[in-house]
Chains A and B, each alone.
Chain A
């Protein structure tokens, strides 16, 4: 079929339809037949009847033919749309290639916007949205956090309590639990053991998650029942340390000197419920007693709560019902087993909220929403930039658009063409965004994090992320193109006659006003983003200046557990003493001390503390829960913790002398309100021996940088059984210079010792998740977003002011000719820019204030003075607007009046 006739056919199809044609054809046939029959001698009436008869069922035939025509018409329609789309694309590509600078500028703008959105999505996705690899039906899983003092909750459940939970088959179809632990692992053939993080799991943990091994098998309840010494390896550990050799199945790995048989390897990407922690392997919970034979059995005792249970809800059990049931269970458990803690309480959260830490459940969605929202704002700003650019360019094509409309192209058709162009720009931008996002995501994955548990932030760059990036690009392209598509086609064929002439120049007053409004919107968005950034930075600053209660400079920390290879308390104590002596004697060491917990470095242990005085405010069982650490002499000196009353722990406080403790101010207030704590006694068990208070420190920060003042006490390490401990070493110079000498001390003491960590206290504060890490991340990302937005806005501003000056050339020429000085003209342009900035700021301030109220939870110590930040940002933006307009102002002041008057 020829092109022309196809068009005609379609045209007819669209307009009058095909029915008249079909009918005419059939009618014609019948008439011809009649005519022929008459010519052969039949009488007319009979001829007609015969003709009709021969045709058969006319109605049915007509219907059938109409149906065929209709189908054909529809097919044609589809082909036409595709053909038109292809035409649009070719046309669009040609146009973009002809104007490379425009295309690249617009594409770069969008690339920034798309990349920002993509990275933000990738973060949110990994941390909250993405289904955990290797886990079945994660929506049914709830994580049960335990809390001992109404705090945030976490891995605090003793193993026997997990078994109690499992008995509630009405609530849960299964309950398992796990905890992180540190062990010295020596691979077959390796000389030295390494301190690695492992996960202790109950026998049904893998089963509950629905996870299976890649090779070999996973841990089963039989392994737990038999107290088997088996280990399932993590994929990355297997690859990196054991060469990815499948023959490792059945081989033995030495863990804390005990041989464990490798029974399986997990598939790549499987990380249990916490994708951030890079662990080495999984062991049955019962092997805990093998790994660290101390006096307290973790697997059987009710007062060592370290596990985090995870349960699969029964169908029909909502989380609220689970929580209510858990509250009741908590009461029962407290009554039956008071060692668990008098304030022990269970809570439940869906697994996707607690992938980083149980305590973060409440705030997590807010953080993610805020972050993603900010990123989306940047994308919006980028779109606005592109719209402005396209508008400017569309103005120059008004003749072309007008002619096409005059020739019959519909407005929709033209609009679609313009939209295709912006979508093409977005596609180019997508390619750029791809590169930007990839670089950013890789950089984020390698962030140093001040924690001795290795954290692996693996932001995946895969189909989901790519899908979102493409979607963002498509939306951006359409958004950016809508305004130009609508306004560019609005004028109709006579548009070329309007102001500006056929070439369009800069595009008319209305377009300019619209562009100005767009820039105003960009300024408003920048106000929001920059305010958010400023607040985060201030928050970080305040957090950094919080009084920690100790001095972190030049302190190196080393994590060590002699219980890996030593069995008796006496041997362990000797090991500690020996190492401390040797390390303290090293040149370059100012002082050193052991502690079972360091501030802000993993969470400290807490236990119930009993006092004899009935007047003291305690809970029903007569105890107060406090955090504590057991330290060696010299701890207070090493950490520079001043003693407000009495003394610290000394050499004399050993197993031969009375038990002593040092408390902090808060503990003193709670336990002995209004009295001098020195000389008071407390008990660590209800009927246990008394411990005398010999000193008091001020309040400090112990578990988390934002915690309320909390009671804390120090015990003497020599007077209490101890397993894992941290060595704090204050050096004279760079603390890392002590790495090698300290390792040498350990190695000399015994080749089986496995010191690990080697993190400075400064890093812990600066990069640690209990301290500054989240703040710094928040401030950095908000600042990045704010900077990108500001950049895009200033570019847009510059463009608009520049075009404005061009448009007003004649008017400015008149002014100059009438005697205005260049300075006055320049000032006039600058004032205009200031007003534009001011309007945008005015629009943005209410939204910024709204954003502040939303973000309130994330900001440290927010005061009403923080509202002033908005004012500062506003002023700054207005000044920046004037700066961006300066080149145009200068150009205006330099106009030659006669030339300007001649221009159109």
Chain B
């Protein structure tokens, strides 16, 4: 599959980040890798927009961070979901599903001739 770099809405990026962190504690780069890997490299996020998104999610209290040490002994910031964030993930997923279903209805619905 060709690598496509897609413009993602900020809200969608937040959803992907939350999902990434739902499995545990990750540093910023790992979050990026998760998204890339999980989509088979089909989604490549603009790297410059990942970190601001992470910081803003932290401001909202959905994730929290602390400095730590990576697998190869380097200093990095690690993120994880807060209880509030975990709950938000569920609602965001549900909202997104509804959104996609609605769009599909428009696309695949009867077309006026």
Within 8 Å CB of A69, what residues of B?
Answer: 55
Within 8 Å CB of B67, what residues of A?
Answer: 21, 24
A63 to B76, CA, bound (A): 18
User: Does A31 reach chain B (CB closer than 8 Å)?
Assistant: yes
Given A1-B82, A72-B59: A31 touches B51 (CB 8 Å cut-off): no
Within 8 Å CB of A36, what residues of B?
Answer: 33
A517 to B47, CA, bound (A): 70
A566 to B46, CA, bound (A): 104
A29 touches B28 (CB 8 A): yes
Closest beta carbon of chain A to B60's beta carbon, Å: 11
Which residue on B lies nearest to A62, using beta carbons? B51
B52 touches A65 (CB 8 A): yes
**Interface members, chain A 27-74 (any B CB < 8 Å):** 28-29, 31-33, 36, 54-57, 61, 64-65, 68-69, 72
Which residue on A lies nearest to B32, using beta carbons? A29
User: Does B24 reach chain A (CB closer than 8 Å)?
Assistant: no
A2 to B55, CA, bound (A): 17
User: Does B99 reach chain A (CB closer than 8 Å)?
Assistant: no
Partner of B51, one of A8, A32, A57, A65: A65
B55 touches A65 (CB 8 A): yes
A2 to B84, CA, bound (A): 12
A25 touches B74 (CB 8 A): no
B61 touches A25 (CB 8 A): no
Closest beta carbon of chain A to B89's beta carbon, Å: 17
B75 touches A24 (CB 8 A): yes
Given A28-B76, A61-B48, A61-B51: A68 touches B28 (CB 8 Å cut-off): no
A68 touches B56 (CB 8 A): yes
A773 to B33, CA, bound (A): 92
A1 to B76, CA, bound (A): 18
Given A21-B77, A56-B46: A26 touches B64 (CB 8 Å cut-off): no
A521 to B59, CA, bound (A): 55
Which residue on A lies nearest to B30, using beta carbons? A32
Given A25-B51, A26-B51, A32-B29: A68 touches B77 (CB 8 Å cut-off): no
User: Does B70 reach chain A (CB closer than 8 Å)?
Assistant: yes
**Interface members, chain A 559-602 (any B CB < 8 Å):** none
Scan B49-66; emit 1 where CB is below 8 A from any A CB, else 0. 001100110110100101
A29 to B64, CA, bound (A): 18
User: Does B25 reach chain A (CB closer than 8 Å)?
Assistant: no
Most chain A CB within a 10 A radius of its CB, from B51, B64, B77? B51
Which residue on B lies nearest to A60, using beta carbons? B48
Partner of B55, one of A29, A32, A33, A68: A68
A57 to B59, CA, bound (A): 23
User: Does A5 reach chain B (CB closer than 8 Å)?
Assistant: yes
A33 to B52, CA, bound (A): 18
A21 to B67, CA, bound (A): 7
Most chain A CB within a 10 A radius of its CB, from B27, B55, B61, B82? B55
Given A24-B77, A28-B27: A68 touches B59 (CB 8 Å cut-off): yes
A33 touches B29 (CB 8 A): yes
B28 touches A25 (CB 8 A): yes
Within 8 Å CB of B29, what residues of A?
Answer: 28-29, 32-33
Within 8 Å CB of A72, what residues of B?
Answer: 58-59
B55 touches A56 (CB 8 A): no
Within 8 Å CB of A33, what residues of B?
Answer: 29, 47
Within 8 Å CB of B70, what residues of A?
Answer: 28, 32
Given A28-B29, A28-B74, A31-B74: A55 touches B47 (CB 8 Å cut-off): yes
Given A5-B66, A29-B29, A65-B55: A24 touches B76 (CB 8 Å cut-off): yes
Closest beta carbon of chain A to B109's beta carbon, Å: 39
**Interface members, chain B 50-109 (any A CB < 8 Å):** 51-52, 55-56, 58-59, 61, 64, 66-67, 70, 74-77, 82
Closest beta carbon of chain A to B100's beta carbon, Å: 28
Within 8 Å CB of B61, what residues of A?
Answer: 1
A56 touches B48 (CB 8 A): yes
A442 to B28, CA, bound (A): 71
Within 8 Å CB of B28, what residues of A?
Answer: 25, 28-29
A55 to B52, CA, bound (A): 12
A57 to B48, CA, bound (A): 8
Closest beta carbon of chain A to B47's beta carbon, Å: 5
A55 to B47, CA, bound (A): 5
A31 to B74, CA, bound (A): 10
A56 to B52, CA, bound (A): 13
Closest beta carbon of chain B to A742's beta carbon, Å: 86
Within 8 Å CB of B74, what residues of A?
Answer: 28, 31
Within 8 Å CB of A61, what residues of B?
Answer: 48, 51-52
Which residue on B lies nearest to A57, using beta carbons? B48
A68 touches B52 (CB 8 A): yes
Given A5-B64, A21-B67, A28-B75: A64 touches B52 (CB 8 Å cut-off): yes
Which residue on A lies nearest to B48, using beta carbons? A56
B76 touches A54 (CB 8 A): no
Within 8 Å CB of A65, what residues of B?
Answer: 51-52, 55
Which residue on B lies nearest to A23, using beta carbons? B75
A439 to B67, CA, bound (A): 64
Which residue on B lies nearest to A61, using beta carbons? B48
Closest beta carbon of chain B to A548's beta carbon, Å: 83
A55 to B70, CA, bound (A): 20
Partner of A56, one of B33, B47, B56: B47
Which residue on B lies nearest to A21, using beta carbons? B67
Within 8 Å CB of B56, what residues of A?
Answer: 68
Given A65-B52, A69-B55: A25 touches B64 (CB 8 Å cut-off): no
Most chain A CB within a 10 A radius of its CB, from B33, B56, B66, B82? B66
A65 to B82, CA, bound (A): 21
A1 to B84, CA, bound (A): 10
A68 to B82, CA, bound (A): 20
A26 to B28, CA, bound (A): 9
Within 8 Å CB of A24, what residues of B?
Answer: 67, 75-77
Closest beta carbon of chain B to A67's beta carbon, Å: 10
A24 to B27, CA, bound (A): 12
Within 8 Å CB of B76, what residues of A?
Answer: 24-25, 28
A55 to B49, CA, bound (A): 9
A829 to B56, CA, bound (A): 71
Which residue on A lies nearest to B59, using beta carbons? A72
Within 8 Å CB of A32, what residues of B?
Answer: 29, 70
Closest beta carbon of chain A to B85's beta carbon, Å: 11
Within 8 Å CB of B51, what residues of A?
Answer: 25-26, 29, 61, 65
A309 to B86, CA, bound (A): 79
Which residue on A lies nearest to B63, using beta carbons? A1
Scan A465-485; emit 1 where CB is below 8 A from any B CB, else 0. 000000000000000000000
Within 8 Å CB of A57, what residues of B?
Answer: 48
Which residue on A lies nearest to B77, using beta carbons? A25
Within 8 Å CB of B55, what residues of A?
Answer: 65, 68-69
A110 to B37, CA, bound (A): 72
Which residue on B lies nearest to A53, using beta carbons? B47
A33 to B66, CA, bound (A): 21
Starting from the known contacts A32-B29, A36-B33, A65-B51, 9 additional A-B residue pairs (CB-CB under 8 Å) come to A21-B77, A24-B75, A25-B77, A31-B74, A61-B48, A64-B52, A65-B52, A68-B55, A69-B55
A-B contact pairs, 6 of them (CB 8 A): A1-B64, A21-B77, A28-B27, A28-B76, A29-B51, A68-B59
Which residues of B pack against A, CB within 8 Å? 27-29, 32-33, 46-48, 51-52, 55-56, 58-59, 61, 64, 66-67, 70, 74-77, 82
Closest 6 CB pairs of A and B: A56-B48, A32-B29, A28-B76, A25-B77, A68-B55, A24-B75
